[in-house]
Amino acid sequence: MSEKDQADLAAMERTEEPDLDRGMFEAWAAKMISNPDRAYRATFYVATIFFLVTTLFPFYWLLMVAITPRSELGSVGVLTPGGFNPGAFIEIFTMLPFHRYVFNSFLIAVVATVIVLFVASLAGYVFGRLRFRAKNALLLGVLVTSFFPPAAFFVPLNRLFNRNFDILRPLMQDGSLYNTPYAIFIPLSALYLPLSIFILMTFYSQIPEGLEDAARVEGTTRLGALFRIIVPLSAPGVATAGVLTFITVYNEYFFSSLMTDGRPQNWAPMLEGVLRFRGEFETLFNLMAASSIVAVLPVAILVIVAQEKIVSGLTAGAVKE
């Protein structure tokens, strides 16, 4: 071996020597860099475990508390219940008309979602596809309203909805909107409208103008082109805006509790029914857990259905293109 080869070999040994002195974390990082697929799999597993622990475990804990008898709640383990008594899911409907609380929140959320999607579709079309003066300033003004906390609007809205109006007496007994669904879904629709406008504006602006022009050549108006061409092609955006609005309004408690007296026949929200199991001298934790699980079911079903709609909308749009 020549002197040059010996020098090169010694230099290689000197460059490899620091690898032997690496710590555990440095060695793991070097392996991840040299094998990206392994790093991606490790990241996926860590993210999945984190999601399961932080998101699904609370629901599992609620189930454990719900099926545990009331006298054995103190013995509930980390992963096992203190007993087995699924009768709590029936008791929540016998002690209270809990189904009416859930129906109130569900119906208000549906009405608010329909209103928001209709108004946001019109506004999203205007902001996304038309050109006019002060467009950016007007859009900024609409979005700024979503930055204010809902509590900032409660005092004027509460005074407005508690006032008696003669024009409303043929529709309302005392001419007031208090204890009516209008006092709930009207402000909620206005509060959550800016986000839907922004989402739909983004989707509507990406639709090729040639499709709308072709529809208008055939005699369709702008409104007809919006609901016949643009909205179906923007199904993922419409589904996203609808799901976000429904979930937010369905879980809303602040306005709903302050605009009603807490009775189910006066449109009290779902969370009001859950809190009814908290008495002055005793809190029925198993019934609160069971009612919470029942109240979450409509949202869970909607998310599953909407997820399929979003995927089908993306696929249909790709095929049409």
Instruction: Give the pLDDT confidence of 64-74 residue by residue, as tens digits.
Output: 888 888 888 77
According to the model, what pLDDT value does residue 167 have?
A: 72
At residue 213, the pLDDT reads: 84
pLDDT at 259: 86
Separation CA 258–CA 106 (nearest Å): 18
pLDDT score, position 319: 42
pLDDT of residue 10: 56
Give me the pLDDT at residue 54, please: 83
Nearest partner of 110 among 316, 277, 273, 299, judged by Cα: 299
- For 295-304, which contacts have Cβ atoms below 8 Å and span 24 or more sequence positions? 295/102, 295/105, 295/270, 295/271, 296/59, 298/102, 298/106, 298/250, 299/246, 299/247, 299/250, 299/251, 302/243, 302/246, 302/247, 303/243, 303/247
Question: DSSP 3-state helix, strand, coil percentages of the chain (rounded to 5)?
Answer: 75, 0, 25
Q: Convert 32-57 to b/e letters by CB count within 10 Å (16 or more is b).
A: eeeeeeeeeeeeeeeeeeeeeeeeee
State the pLDDT at residue 116. Answer: 94
Contact 232, 212 (CB under 8 A): no
Looking at residue 20, its pLDDT comes to: 47
pTM attached to this predicted model: 0.79
| 49 token code pair | 């475990």
Question: What are the tokens at 198?
Answer: 């922004």
C-alpha–C-alpha distance, residues 151 and 257, integer Å = 13
The 3 state secondary structure assigned to 42-81 is: HHHHHHHHHHHHHHHHHHHHHHHHHCCCHHHHHHCCCCCC
Residue type, 54: T
Place of tokens 């860099």: 33
Contact 245, 113 (CB under 8 A): yes
Indicate the residue type of 198: F
The predicted structure's pLDDT at residue 311: 60
* Rounded CA separation 146/149 (Å): 8
Q: What is the pLDDT of residue 52?
A: 79
Do 134 and 206 form a contact (C-beta atoms < 8 A)? no
Residue 106: the pLDDT is: 93
pLDDT < 70: residue spans in the chain: 1-25, 28-29, 32, 78, 170-171, 173, 308-321
